[in-house]
Amino acid sequence: MAISNLQKARAAYQPKLPKALQGPVKAIEGAATQSVGNQAEIKELFPNTYGMPIITFQPGEPVALPPFNVGIILSGGQAPGGHNVISGLFDGVKSLNPANKLYGFILGPGGLVDHKYMEITSELMDKYRNTGGFDIIGSGRTKLEEVDQFEKGIQILRELNIKALVIIGGDDSNTNACVLAEYYAAKNYGVQVIGCPKTIDGDLKNEQIETSFGFDTACKTYSELIGNIQRDCNSARKYWHFIKVMGRSASHIALECALQCQPNICLISEEVEAKAMSLDDVVTYIANAVAKRAEEGNNFGTVVIPEGIIEFIPAIKKLIAELNDVLALPEAQTINSANEQIEFVKQHISRENLAVFQSLPTDVAAQLALDRDPHGNVQVSLIETEKLLSRMVAAKLAIWKHQGKYVGKFGTQHHFFGYEGRCAAPSNYDADYCYSLGYNASRLIANGKTGYMSIIKNTTAPAAEWVAGGVPITMMMNLEKRNGKMKPVIRKALVELDGAPFKYFAAHREEWAKETAYVYPGPIQYWGPSEVCDQPTITLQLEKKAK
């Protein structure tokens, strides 16, 4: 594997740890917990892992432990810092007993089921410290849901004498970890399962999880790119740039990028839904901002759009919900052509939703009716929302021009920042946070815990003051409809419109819309003053400040 000069220098960086994890620990147990919703149903589904206490680690006395092995799985989409979770776990496991071994399952949960694995040695681990990506063992989206998968998994876990399995993933992956932990506990198989909170979208957070790893680095990466575009925009002064960013189910990335870059317009999906805005309302909002800047002679600007916004427009959300149900019907599974599927949809949805469906641009309507993701939901990232909105804004401005209400010029450029942020070299914050999450997972294993997620809190303070521990995954769960059926899942965290980050944005956006108040964050810095290199996201700083 070729190594860049940055990677060589970065390999020498020793991530910081909370004081509690810098030596032996003792586990302090809090009160019993319950799920965030559907308590009776979740308790019935998870009788062996429900109601467990929150764990906090404090410095303790050394305890000699016999050798044991640990398995690790990277699940779902990539996020910066995954390799540091593995290196933290590796170092943590070895610190408990040098004879301990760490095995990585290849290409995600499928590696567990198919018995594809490799031992992670010190020599291998040292090549990947503080690097982006998941390429040390690869990732995959196989869902661990079936008894047959669990039983195939236990075969290889026993063969490798693995005591515990750590699953690094987002809300769906950690839901699978919870299901697996419950199954192995019910069967008394003696294998622990620990989760780690990963997703660049930032929607895996709650009172116990301050942020999911990778969010910090991804937002800083996208903000650098947006800043670069804004610098170009302010130099050429002839284009409106429509920039779509990751965030299917929540607008955390769009909001954080807006806080970092101060674009002229940033749409927040959750606000669109709360205000029951129509597609035309959204278009009019953008067009008004364009027209007002044109009055000042500024025929340029930037618009930041979360990729999932179309699903938050109430009429379209209602349509999509019915489409998901219709396309989950058994007879829909036998359809072989796109045209047949679209006709099937038209025949099976309600009159109200059919009217909405037929009002959409043909290409957008077709996309909504066609391919689904592994969870049975529309693949909104394939819908070019940035082009759809700019096209509709242009049409509205043309009408206004004819009416004498608009005097400007409207040229556009389009961008979608997605994969660019998923495998970036982790920021110092993510490097430290992820290493701590992995190291902490080793302590949860040593303390016999299963069905827990590794958590690190108080991360706006210096790393030595961070708080380490674990939270039962069942505590975060509720029931939601997936593929037409109610299933236990971890509740996603949406942007809170009464939260400090959104309130700060809302208080400044009129000024940003009118003025050219761009901020150019520049690239992620790894060496230098702490205020340049080690700062967490503005979102997290505002949230902590408000508490």
Give which of 258, 257, 299 is closest to 406, Cα–Cα: 299
Q: Is the confidence at residue 369, as pLDDT, over 90?
A: no
Q: State whether 197 and 225 are in the same domain.
A: no
* CA distance linking residue 220 with residue 230, whole number of Å: 15
Q: Could you tell me where the DSSP H helices lie in 360-489?
A: 362-369, 385-402, 428-446
pLDDT band of 376, cuts 50, 70, 90: low
456 falls within a domain: no
Q: State whether 276 and 247 are in the same domain.
A: yes
* CA distance linking residue 408 with residue 298, whole number of Å: 8
Q: State whether 140 and 152 are in the same domain.
A: yes
Assess contact for 92 and 125: CB atoms under 8 A. no
Q: Is the confidence at residue 484, as pLDDT, over 90?
A: no
For the ranges 62-66, 332-336, 498-502, the lowest mean pLDDT is seen at 332-336
Of all residues in the chain, the percent with pLDDT exceeding 90 is 84
User: Which helix (H) or strand (E) element contains residue 228?
Assistant: helix 215-236
Q: State whether 174 and 317 are in the same domain.
A: no
454 falls within a domain: no
DSSP-derived 3-state class of residue 152: helix
Assess contact for 124 and 474: CB atoms under 8 A. no
Assess contact for 436 and 210: CB atoms under 8 A. no
pLDDT band of 335, cuts 50, 70, 90: confident
CB atoms within 10 A of CB 89: 30
Write the pLDDT tens digit of every residue in 399-420. Answer: 999 999 999 999 999 999 999 9
Distances in Å between the alpha carbon of 451 and those of 47, 52, 104, 471? Answer: 12, 9, 19, 9
Q: State whether 399 and 433 are in the same domain.
A: no
Q: State whether 298 and 318 are in the same domain.
A: yes
Assess contact for 204 and 36: CB atoms under 8 A. no
Range of the domain at 164: 62-214+426-448
Higher pLDDT, 48 or 324: 48
Mean pLDDT of 23-48: 96
What CATH number has the domain bearing residue 186? 3.40.50.450
147 falls within a domain: yes
Mean pLDDT of 427-438: 98
Which residues share a beta bridge with 266? 304
* CA distance linking residue 230 with residue 244, whole number of Å: 14
pLDDT band of 460, cuts 50, 70, 90: very high
Q: State whether 267 and 395 are in the same domain.
A: yes
pLDDT of residue 457: 97
Q: State whether 183 and 322 are in the same domain.
A: no
Of all residues in the chain, the percent with pLDDT exceeding 70 is 98
Assess contact for 356 and 315: CB atoms under 8 A. yes
| Catalytic residue of the set 91, 171, 172, 201 | 201
User: To 10 degrees, the CA torsion angle through 318, 320, 324, 325?
Assistant: 30
In terms of C-beta density within 10 A (0-12 exposed, 13-18 middle, 19 or more buried), how is residue 358 classed? exposed
Task: Report the predicted TM-score, pTM, of the whole model to 2 decimal places.
Answer: 0.94
Q: State whether 412 and 430 are in the same domain.
A: no
Write the pLDDT tens digit of every residue in 201-227. Answer: 999 999 999 999 999 999 999 999 999
34 falls within a domain: no
88 falls within a domain: yes
Query: Is 201 among the residues known to form the active site?
Result: yes
Q: State whether 432 and 417 are in the same domain.
A: no
476 falls within a domain: no
What CATH number has the domain bearing residue 391? 3.40.50.460
Q: State whether 390 and 405 are in the same domain.
A: yes
* Number of folded domains that form the chain: 2
Distances in Å between the alpha carbon of 383 and those of 165, 253, 446? Answer: 37, 18, 46
On average, the pLDDT of the chain sits at: 94
Q: State whether 85 and 198 are in the same domain.
A: yes
108 falls within a domain: yes
Sheet with strand 25-29: strands edge to edge: 25-29, 55-59, 467-472, 452-457, 192-197, 162-169, 69-74, 101-105, 117-119
38 falls within a domain: no
Mean pLDDT of 356-384: 77
